[in-house]
Structure 1
Amino acid sequence: MEATPRPAVSIVIPTHSEQRWPALVRTVASARSQTYVPAEIVVVVDHNPALFRRARRDLGGVTVLENLYAQGVSGNRNTGAFHTSTSLIAFLDDDTTAGPEWLGSLVAPFADPKVVGTGGGINPEWEGPEPRWMPEEFLWAVGGSYAGMPTTTARIRNVWSASMVVRRDAFLSVGGFRTGFGKVGSQNRPEDTELCLRMSAASGGHWMYVPTATIRHEVPASRSTFGWFLRRCYAEGRGKVAMAGLLDGSQSLGSEKDYLRSLPRAVVRNLVAATRGRGAHHALKAGGVLAGVAAAGVGGVVETVAARRLAGAVR
């Protein structure tokens, strides 16, 4: 009996800043080191001619493209994805490093034809010490897997584009990432969550989370401050409300509601630990949960008011 041929996979890596050049080189090296050898590695540069020239010159054996769309990571990823021809398309961010089994682990669930995409575990790699006030439930704020996510391979609503593999036909059928909705400048909207929801709705398929398919995500010291944390939570609140407006309203936020219901337990757990002498940092983590929820809530209110004003102006 002949073995089923393994699907071919291309890896797309978006990049935009020369300041990230050392990180980009590490990302490309990790993509090349996969035991499941990719058919092609594509680096896409977001409207930065100097970086494009450098990547073309110094990244041998890698396809280097320029973003064909307006500035932003969604169009940047689409440029690379639409260029590829493989049945599966993988995405890595330019500040991540994938373990050697990462790609193979994310490809395995595609043996089930109902799987439209997969994502893996993301471990923050702090430039400095991890903030003592950072709650494990809020590691998503620095692009990491957070407490409460599955610890074994499981079905999930959405994954993150920093560590993602998609079925090409399902991805193309919805037009890829929604351009104009995503990360550009100070704007931070969940373009990956929005993509996952559209792909599932259009295909009737589902996503799988593979926590053992790990990558390391670099967290610079500038993103370890409490002020940055609050701004990131505020932006997430705005982004999730904006996403709900694009899709089916509150129904698209079911996972967020479940997540919010889990946070009071995190506050209580940390306060109990602090009162039992397990370290004052637990009290700081409890405060971090409350502050993060408040910042996200303010962002959600601001986005809701802005959307209503825009709707009124259109009328």
Structure 2
Amino acid sequence: MKVSVVICTYAMDRYDVFSKCVDSVLAQTYDPIEVVIVVDGNEAVFDRVRSDYGDLDGVVLHRNEDNEGISYSRTRGAELATGDVVAFIDDDGIAAPDWIEELARVYDETDAIAVGGHAKPDWVTEKPDFFPAEFYWLVGCDERGMGEHMDELRNTYGSNISFRRDVFLNVGGYDENTGRKGDRHIQAHEAPVCIRMANKYGKGVIYNRNSVVDHQLFEYRGDFRWLVGRSFWQGYSKRIMDILLPEAAGDKNEYLTQLMFEFVPKRLWNLARDPSVPKAKQLVAIFVFTAAVGFGYLYGLLEVDRSQLHTG
């Protein structure tokens, strides 16, 4: 079974990080593997990529004429790929040597149509003591309560997810209305493709925690204001997801219930039993981030209502 790994990048100031990602994929223990690199509209970056990787066997290069965004780029990469399975990793991820081997093993041993792995937080600087594990999803890493090994989930995160290529393309790939594109804030672009896949094939994503990608977290991702803003736009994105795919709402509500009725009470108990400043900070951060998500969702709700009034 051939696996194609799609890596998308766009900015020269991320090139050193991106190249570490590519090198980690090229060093995989699995064979046969293909690496598809998609540069999103930046000619200077593409020239450097072509210079560094263009002569390597099993590497496919492509540049979008314009900046089309991560969702378009990933789908384009899957279209160019020739593997039976297409795997995705963010350009700031570092794959463990057996990352693809572990993903492929699940396809070989089960009837899975999509397999994801553990997006492990890798703080490049010191981890902020206020950051709660329940909100790692804000930075694209597995949060507390994500799921157990080999569970079937709705989706894993874009730094560590794979699909049978024909399944991915049959459901239309990533929705170009979601994902990063310039200053656009619509996030969580794994959810729509996985929901469409579940609707069509009746299956979710198998979560193999032994398939590991270290997702590098740079200093700005530990900035409290940045995280509050990120929470707000995640809430806004969730509202947009509810409009595009109403069935997406249940997963969000389920996690909120788990957060407030399981994780928060446990944290309160631990804080009372063994008080510490970091524990108190993390508890406060949970409430602040949750409120920011709520305000973002409300903003999305009001914005949609306004747009409907203008078009009505």
| Shift of residue 185, structure 1, vs aligned partner | 2.7
Percent identity between the two aligned chains:
30
Q: Distance in 2 between matches of 1:209 and 1:238?
A: 27
Does structure 1 residue 175 correspond to structure 2 residue 169? no
Q: Which residue of 2 aligns with 1:4?
A: none
Q: Distance in 1 between matches of 2:66 and 2:87?
A: 20
Q: Which residue of 1 aligns with 2:121?
A: 124
Q: Which residue of 2 aligns with 1:219?
A: 217
Does structure 1 residue 261 correspond to structure 2 residue 248? no
Paired residue type of 1:118: V
Q: Which residue of 1 aligns with 2:193?
A: 195
| Shift of residue 68, structure 1, vs aligned partner | 5.8
Q: Which residue of 2 aligns with 1:64?
A: 61
| Shift of residue 313, structure 1, vs aligned partner | 2.2
Q: Deviations over 1:114-144 (max 9, x none)?
A: 5221110011111211111111100111111
Q: Which residue of 2 aligns with 1:148?
A: 145
> Which runs of structure 2 are paired with 1:226-241 in the superposition (5 Å)?
226-241=224-239
Which deviates the most, 279-288 or 55-64? 55-64
Q: Deviations over 1:36-84 (max 9, x none)?
A: 1243101101111110111011124132211267521001111211001
**86, 91, 107: which one aligns with 2:88:** 91
TM-score (norm 1): 0.93
Q: Which residue of 1 aligns with 2:243?
A: 245
| Distance change (3 Å), C-alpha of 1:91 and 1:69 | farther
> Which runs of structure 2 are paired with 1:30-109 in the superposition (5 Å)?
30-59=24-53, 60-61=55-56, 62-67=59-64, 71-109=68-106
Q: Distance in 2 between matches of 1:64 and 1:149?
A: 34
Q: Distance in 2 between matches of 1:238 and 1:28?
A: 32
Q: Distance in 2 between matches of 1:262 and 1:215?
A: 26
Secondary structure of 2:145 counterpart:
coil
| Shift of residue 28, structure 1, vs aligned partner | 0.9
Structure 1 portions without partners, runs of 5+:
1-6
Contact residue 6 and residue 38 of structure 2 kept, 8 A = yes
| Distance change (3 Å), C-alpha of 1:256 and 1:38 | farther
Q: Distance in 2 between matches of 1:149 and 1:306?
A: 30
**6, 13, 21: which one aligns with 1:27:** 21
Q: Distance in 2 between matches of 1:115 and 1:50?
A: 39
Q: Distance in 2 between matches of 1:122 and 1:175?
A: 24
Q: Which residue of 2 aligns with 1:16?
A: 10
Secondary structure of 1:184 counterpart:
coil
| Shift of residue 276, structure 1, vs aligned partner | 2.3
RMSD, aligned CA: 1.6
| Distance change (3 Å), C-alpha of 1:38 and 1:124 | farther
Q: Deviations over 1:126-166 (max 9, x none)?
A: 12111111111001111111110223111111111211111
TM-score (norm 2): 0.94
Q: Distance in 1 between matches of 2:66 and 2:14?
A: 21
| Distance change (3 Å), C-alpha of 1:204 and 1:270 | closer
**295, 298, 303: which one aligns with 2:295:** 298
Q: Distance in 2 between matches of 1:219 and 1:151?
A: 23
| Distance change (3 Å), C-alpha of 1:208 and 1:35 | same
Q: Distance in 2 between matches of 1:93 and 1:256?
A: 23
Secondary structure of 1:124 counterpart:
strand
Secondary structure of 1:152 counterpart:
coil
Which deviates the most, 269-278 or 182-191? 269-278
**203, 206, 209: which one aligns with 2:204:** 206
Contact residue 130 and residue 224 of structure 1 kept, 8 A = yes
Q: Distance in 1 between matches of 2:176 and 2:227?
A: 26
Q: Deviations over 1:247-270 (max 9, x none)?
A: 2x2x32211111101112322222
Secondary structure of 1:242 counterpart:
helix
Count, aligned residues: 307
Which deviates the most, 275-284 or 130-139? 275-284
